[in-house]
Structure 1
Amino acid sequence: MLPAIKNKNIFTVSQLNSKVRSLIEEIGTVWLVGEISNFSIPVSGHWYFTLKDSNAQVKCAMFKGNNRSVTFKPKNGKQILVKAHLSLYEPRGDYQLIIENMQPEGYGQLQQQFYELKIKLEKEGLFAQSNKKPFPKHPKCIGVVTSSTGAALFDILDILKRRDPSLSIVIYPTMVQGNGAEIQIGKMIKQANIRNECDLIILGRGGGSLEDLWCFNNEALARIIASSQIPIISAVGHETDITITDFVADMRAPTPSAAAELVSSSKDNKNEMLAHLCHKLSNTIHHYLSIKKQLLTQSTHRIEKQHPNYQIHKQNQQLDILTNRLENYIKQYLSYCEQKIKHRQYLLQLHTPSKQLEQQKVRLTRTVQRLLGSMDKKSLNIQHKLSLTLEKLEALSPLATLRRGYSITQTAQGDVVTSWQSLKTGDKLRTQLIDGEIRSTVN
């Protein structure tokens, strides 16, 4: 016996799909890498494709307003990095990704790794302000971890010499680019902590591409910086360059030169302190704005669910599907009509007057041939029967009797005389012989 089911536990398919869509869309924005397949662009201008790897695949849609910003031409087989939010196409119950941004895999993959590591370390608390070590107000010795031949080192030395010649400087030379650079940087930071001769450390290098600065986005190096007992200033690249070391260090300087100015005293010490406080405030504001930006993004996604554009996108997607289905139906119908026309043309050719006349001529020829054959056969049969009849008639004919010497005598009226008693004097007689007749009178 089935258990009782309350009405509130019974869903329609539409209600279920709507609820599942709401749950899926709460996940928010995701980044993922995959290969394009089944790429199509209907007349609406939206992009539809499947993103797959060796084990799985997911359907994707990128609407016209977003795909205009893509700087390369997507095609099947191309590896890409996408930023998307999850959704469900309710009419079919299909789980799909709504793509917001798309990049080729190479550069985008580094960005994806950067964001994943940033999120991971941030969740662990490595970026927390409470973990930042305070800087000495009047440092006496500055450690510099950088390349011994790089322009960054000479900029730092020039500024420190100009601003505070009394400062001691210890250089920890290391690679700042390429394979193994992160290992050397980590060793120098550990060595500075073991020697414990510096009040603070400047970790710096000049600007470069994301690939050039990639050693500063290493997880192991980030953990070494976080565990350092000596405060560290991250001064990597230009002001617009952001690395993981900037977040995990106790302070970030926009450039190596700016780091040198921050750690050295001058007549404008108050201004420097103010700059330091401003920078600290900037970091706090940046962190606050980052949190608010995430909340804004989540709120925006919730609003987008109810926004007319979202409904329009859904309707456009459904329109594309129905248009494709209609096109297929029209093609099938036209193909059916074409086959039907060909069949009718074939039947028409079979029933044209000329074809019918040809067939009738063939039938007539065959019928005439059969008729002539039947007539010949019938004529032969009749001739044979006639011959037999003539033979029989010949055998029974009086002429045959006459040939044997007999004759036939008839009266003038044509009666055969079989007895003399039937005659009287004066009767005219005619005697038939084989080769003529004799006329006589009874006396």
Structure 2
Amino acid sequence: MPNPHILQVSQLTQKVRFMLESELNTVWLTGEISNFIAASSGHWYLSLKDQKSQVRCAMFKGSNRRVRIRPTNGQQVLVRAKVSLYEPRGDFQLIIEQMEDAGDGLLRQQYEQLKQQLSQEGLFDLANKQPMPRAISTVGIVTSPTGAAIQDILAVVSRRNPLLNIIIYPCLVQGELAAEQIVQSIVRANQRMECDVLIVGRGGGSLEDLWCFNEESVVRAIAASTLPVISAVGHEIDTTLADFAADVRAPTPSAAAELVSGELTQMITRQIQLIQQLTSRLQLQMNRWQDKLTGLIHRHQQCHPVQKLQLKQQQVDELNHRLLRIISQQKQHAKINIERLSHRLNQTAPNKQITLWQDQQTNLHKRLVATSKHQLDNKKSQFGYLVEQLHMISPLATIARGYSVTRDQNNAIVKRVGDVQVNQTISVEVSDGSIEAKVTALNKVEKD
């Protein structure tokens, strides 16, 4: 058998820890706290158990600072933790990152899941938010008519802007029926369209008390509202899903009232500014109309027959002046053209051209005569040289020196003894004539 791969204990615990952390990663679980220890280092050590099992846990100082509850043995909690292994002892354990009371923890988990779902659908996108109206005269309020929130809103409005109209759409804001009534009130307000903006909210409370504003139906009703919605739920530290869906979030109902009411003095100042702007614009428009009227009167005067006749007379004078100026310019241009053409004609007169051609002909004739004479002299010299050369090789010159040329009866030159026969008549040509002779004998000279 092949040798097995042998591990050290530390290698085994390291591998198991890696497997646990990579496979399970983060988990949510609920259980009862036991063996709770708050170490002097600030870390917490405890066990989570149910009726059948328990698991060791550790929560380090950086994470437990954010825990709102004070853990005690026997307390039911909801935790989010990483599965790990404590290598020195080989103990399986959880590293807790978040801890809440079991009741609030489950609600918080549902809150996060629904928040993620609606966010992915785009209900919380800023692009879907409506701007608040610049001028608000009527405010609708979706809340309990007997709660503290409506009293706070009315008090702020009466102090800041008593002219603001208030319409209350009553509904429950806590309990099982609250979500349904809130949705009905929002729908009713959108159907009536009798207000400029809608405030949806209530006073503070626990997560469970405020839960109706985390219900999906309420969140979707707020997001679908045609009227701009201000969410004013609880205190500043409380955040519900209605806050994310609303067009504007106010930290408290009183803050929402301040947002929609505005100071009366500010509104009066704004009205005065608007009146001043309107007056200024009317004055500007009147000035424009006055300028336009003046222009029309001027145009009317310009259109009068006398004005038109004077204008036409002035135009005639201007045209006559322009015509005289153009005629003068044309005469000047014609004079300049005549002088230029006369100069060109003188430059191209036939007499001058004929004289020029005659001079050119005379020069060409002289060049031709000189060239012909030169060529004739060259030809004469060449001819004399050729005659001399021809005379040197001529048979007549040879005969003149004492030689003769013998020809047979066919006038063919006799070059050898064998060219003639005995008794044949031959002719011997000498320098001053020819001799008729008859061959009497043939003597042939033998050559070495």
Decide which structure has the larger Cα Rg and report it: 2
Query: Structure 2 length normalisation: TM-score?
Result: 0.48
With normalisation by structure 1, the TM-score equals: 0.49
